[in-house]
Structure 1
Amino acid sequence: MVIGCWLATALSLRRVLLGATLLFMATSVLMAFSPPYAAQIIVRFAQGMAGGVLLPMAIVALLRTLPARHRALALALYISASTLAPQLAAAITGWLLDHWGWRALFLANLLPGIFALIAGFYGLPRERLRLRPLLHMDRFGMLLFVGGLGMLACAFDQGNRLDWLQATPIRVLLFAGTVAICGFIYHVVRVRHDRLLNVELLSRRNIVLGILGILPFSVAVTGCSYVIPQFLIQIHSYHPRELGAVLWDAGWPQLISFAGAVVCLDRKWLGGPRRLLVLGGVLVATGALHDSLNIDGSWEGDELRIGQILQGLGLPLILLPLLYLYVGDLLPREGLHAAMAFNVMRSICGTAGLAWVSTLDRVREQTRSNVLMDYVSTSSAAVSARLDALISAVSMRSSGSDQATEQALHLLASNVRLQSQILAHADTLAAIAVVTLIGAVLAAFMMPYGSGHPSSNVRHA
């Protein structure tokens, strides 16, 4: 993302976007032919670089090519890739695996890539080369920024698996990444020319709150894209193909919500983007709380539908108004810097949000399991009666009383583990609702659209 925005200032948006699309398509084809492991690492690295370039470039391309009166539509098209992808990915992945095999997962990128190349070739304006950004690149600042973000992303991604601060690599990555980011902030404030990041953007309230608001959104989206799938996989042994139908209940409402949000933003209905943002937070929190308070082991697709629909309606109403207020305070020349800042924060907050939710889910499962195991003791009359019933049930399939008792204890422990997982998912959904509501409160402090734009400040002065 960082390198892509820097290259776009020198080589032009058109060249960088088309080149990144070609690279992404080429690496997808290479991965489909299963190269050796060492080559796979290199190809996946190149594919990740291309994908990282495409993210911030897409929003800049939409804002540049569509008229200003269609700004809300441009943002909705861009954001739909973030909010709809988790719901559509499970269904598409399951269908491709069932019908075409794993190679189709990579080759499926070719068709949209071809359309993107054609649209970019004819739709993006041609711009001249600018050699100054290439010759005067802030190499030290880029090293600090990219290195710091990379180390933090690795720590967030592997923290739950390695038990966070209990593992030396995680401690080292968190410390080194934090030092690098702090060093970058100090460096970029001192640099006057050829800055990698325009720090003047951080003097505008909506820019700062827009960046901070990405974190609660990243947590909010995990309710229907992570917690519910984990519940279905752990409790009901769902496969990816079966998850698609359930996740689609959070997908189709987004189409309705996006259309309604675009109309409301264009015609200034419902009191503007800030109220839409608050409404989105309330809808997502309500859906998460509905599932948290009612979920049990019998819940499957039909029972989860109400919560999924509410969250699907709310997610676009969070990110679309948030980004709408964010870009309202920007000058055209600040687009690349702002796109880089927003997408970098969206990427790192997405990793951090998922890490927090997965860690909370694991810790709550351990806590609930310990509480239930303390309660489940043979001294309890109810537990003893349940254990005797299990022993009687398995005795016909056992070779002796000792084996029957062992099998009964195993069944009892499995039931405890199952109940602790259900309770942990309920606790996690409740926590997601609280974080989402905090984000909605944060939105109330954002200024009206365009009030922080530099031109408005000049007029008031």
Structure 2
Amino acid sequence: MTTPPSGFANPSILDTARDKAPANRWLVLAIVALAQLTVVLDGTIVNIALPQAQLELAMSDSDRSWVVTLYALTFGALLLLGGRIADFWGRKRSFLVGMGGFALASAMGGIATSGELLLLARGLQGAFAALLAPAALAILSVTFPGGRDRVRAFAVYGTIAGGGAAVGLLLGGVLTEYFSWHWCLLVNVPIAVVAIAAGIPLLRESRAEGSTRYDIPGAVLVSLGLASVVYGFSRAEAGWIRLDTLGFLALGVLLLALFILVESRAAHPLLPLRIITDRARAGAYLSSIAVGAALLGALLYLTLYFQIVLGLSPLHSGLASLPMTAAIIICAGVVSRLLPRVGPRILMTVGPLIAATGLLLLSRITVGGSYVLEVLPGQILLGVGLAFIFVPLQNVALLGIEPRDSGVASAAVTATQQIGGSIGTAVFTALYAVGAGTGTAEGNAGGLQPLVDGYSVVFLAAAVALALASPISWFMIRVAREEFSQSGESAHLG
């Protein structure tokens, strides 16, 4: 048996964990999937409800944008701390508290009678999501320690991560059109009740062994650093050459650099550097940033194209987004069977190119274009490519993680997606303004053409972002396919 490289779990640890894998692990997967779906849905489900909520609560445009920003801000800032709390306090306990707190915050937002109460609720949602998301992924990692079952479990998780945003658009459209915007938040309550009721008897508690001392300086630095970066990118929508945009981005980079310095010297680091310095895992994290940026940016502007240019209702707009999700679901099963045969490197190299091709097709949309001819082919290719990425990405990002670090490593995966989404939203908003402005300058101000020009620029930029993940995967992800075989007894690097 080959000795595993530094940063990868000892095979004996994997064997022991495998022996302890619960018999009801597929029910555990269902519970974790519910939690992941809830967190992903809230990234998009509120977007469709915002116009109605703004009108009813008499919110300004600035306050409306904060409904989205506050969730991303608290979620992204507290993720690593939430992951370490899950490791030390207990993953089951953190999952149940996170799920319960998320439900209460959702109920508060759902019955909000003022903009201030809605904003408070969204901030609390993000905070509890930062505890819930890493706990859920850590539970999945511990429950499925290796082999083909782990590949299948992460295929389900990756499908939700990739397609949940589109499902959120559909569900938001249904609830807004037939009920009210309040239900876009209240819908989380029954989901949480089911997850908690099932989780109490089915989930097993697990926590890190040994010292459980918290790294307070590291927690403060990384929370403030991530919050500053996310906020800085959110302000970039109003302009890049602004004091607040550049100031918060610079402050965030400085704080994160200090965080790395502190972690390199800490006896009990919040984020052990071995987690992010492993070559394959670092490649997965970088790919996750690129994919998160491209996916959220593309979905936002595709939704705008559906509603503003094609004139679709919120419900029909959500339905029009489903082919991408269907492609992810169908292909995820195929990819999970391919992973043990070809390994993650080829899949994660080819996947971004397929998805980027889909976005290139979407960049050719027109004002009077046909959905079937101009949008559907690109959506399907985007979904296929994302399935090739998400299924192996989750596996590689948590491959060989020591059991005591599973919570914080899971948080790091989610944090890369959040940061990627924030970067993508800000950058693509700026590029959209340039594209739409160019169309106006060319004499198209009288119609929808400037908007379509802006959307096309966004899809083209998203394609470039996705394509960058291909060489990253090819050169950095060198994990042998044997790691994903039925036995999964050792971690070989190619």
TM-score calculated relative to the size of structure 2: 0.77
What is the percent sequence identity of the aligned residues?
22
**1:140 alignment counterpart:** 217
Separation of aligned partners in 1, 2:211 and 2:81: 15
Distance 1:132 1:443, change over 3 A: closer
Matched residue type, 1:14: K
Instruction: Give the whole-Å Cα distance in 2 for the aligned partners of 1:36 and 1:130.
Output: 45
Provide the rounded CA distance (Å) in 2 between the counterparts of 1:222 and 1:199.
28
Q: Does 1:299 align with 2:375?
A: no
Cα shift at 1:225: 1.1
2:240 is the counterpart of 1:164: yes
Per the alignment, do residues 148 and 279 of structure 1 end up closer, same or farther by CA in structure 2, a change over 3 Å counting? same
| 2:387 paired with 1:316 | yes
**2-structure distance, mates of 1:245, 1:340:** 31
1:452 Cα shift?
10
SS in 2 for 1:174: helix
Q: Could you give the per-residue CA deviations for residues 47-94 of structure 1, whole angstroms, max 9, x where no partner exists?
A: 211112122112111122236231112212222232112211121111
Look at both structures and tell me which one has the larger radius of gyration over its CA atoms: 1
Unaligned runs of 5+ in 2: 1-78
Moved more, 325-334 or 438-447: 325-334
Counterparts in 2 of 1:128 and 1:158: CA distance versus 1, 3 Å: closer
Q: Aligned partners of 2:380 and 2:193: how far apart in 1?
A: 33
Distance 1:51 1:140 in 2: 22
How much has 1:129 moved relative to structure 2?
Answer: 9.6
Letter matched to residue 479 of structure 2: P
Over residues 345-401 of structure 1, what are the superposed CA-to-partner deviations in whole Å (9 max), with x where a residue is unaligned? 22111111222122212112223332x14xxxxxxxxxxxxxxxxxxxxxxxxxxxx
- Equivalent-residue separation in structure 1 for 2:429 and 2:301 (angstroms): 8
Residues 284 and 310 in structure 1, CA contact (< 8 A), matched pair in contact too: yes
Report the Cα distance in structure 2 between the residues aligned to 1:143 and 1:81, rounded to whole angstroms. Answer: 31
> Is 2:282 aligned against 1:208?
yes
The alpha-carbon deviation at position 127 of structure 1 amounts to: 4.9
Higher relative contact order (CA 8 A, sep 6+): 2
- Identify the residue that residue 166 of structure 2 maps to in structure 1: 87
**Structure 1 residue 66 corresponds to structure 2 residue 144:** yes
Show the counterpart of 1:179.
Answer: 254
Question: Match of 1:406?
Answer: none
Alignment of 1:395-414 (within 5 A): 413-414=445-446
* 1:437 match: 467
CA RMSD of aligned residues (A): 2.6
Q: Does 1:119 align with 2:198?
A: yes
- Aligned pair in 2 of structure 1 residues 326, 49: CA closer, same or farther (>3 Å)? same
Alpha-carbon separation, structure 2, partners of 1:299 and 1:222: 23
Paired position in structure 2 for 1:45: 123
Aligned to 1:260: 334
Check the 8 A contact 1:277/1:440 in 2, yes or no. Answer: yes
Distance 1:10 1:168, change over 3 A: same
Match of 2:55 in 1: none
1:423 aligns with 2:423: no
**Residues 109 and 217 of structure 1, relative CA distance in 2, 3 Å threshold:** same
- Is the 1:188–1:196 Cα contact (8 Å) retained in structure 2? yes
1:251 matched to 2:325? The reply is yes
Asked if the contact 1:216/1:438 (under 8 Å) is kept, the reply is yes
Identify the residue that residue 305 of structure 2 maps to in structure 1.
Answer: 231
Offset at residue 2 of structure 1 (A): 2.2
> Structure 2: how far apart are the matches of 1:152 and 1:126?
34
Q: What SS does structure 2 have at the residue aligned with 1:414?
A: coil
What amino acid is aligned across from residue 443 of structure 1 in structure 2? Answer: S
2:408 aligned residue (322, 330, 337): 337
Alpha-carbon contact 1:224-1:311 (below 8 Å) kept: no
Instruction: Give 2:245's aligned amino acid.
Output: I
> What is the CA distance between 1:421 and its match in structure 2?
2.5
Residue 359 (str. 1) matches residue 430 (str. 2): yes
Alpha-carbon offset, residue 207 of structure 1: 1.4
CA 1:224–1:312: 2 relative to 1, 3 Å:
farther
Shift of 1:204: 1.5
1:329–1:451 CA contact under 8 A, matched in 2: no
Q: Which residue of 2 aligns with 1:326?
A: 397
CA distance in structure 2 between the aligned counterparts of 1:179 and 1:98, rounded to whole angstroms: 45
1:395-446 CA deviation, whole Å, 9 max, x = no partner? Answer: xxxxxxxxxxxxxxxxx7413xx32322332233222222222211211111
Q: Return the offset for 1:450.
A: 7.8
Look up the equivalent residue of 1:194 and give its one-letter code: H
CA 1:308/1:345 → structure 2, altered by over 3 Å: closer, same or farther?
same
- 2:99 alignment partner AA: T
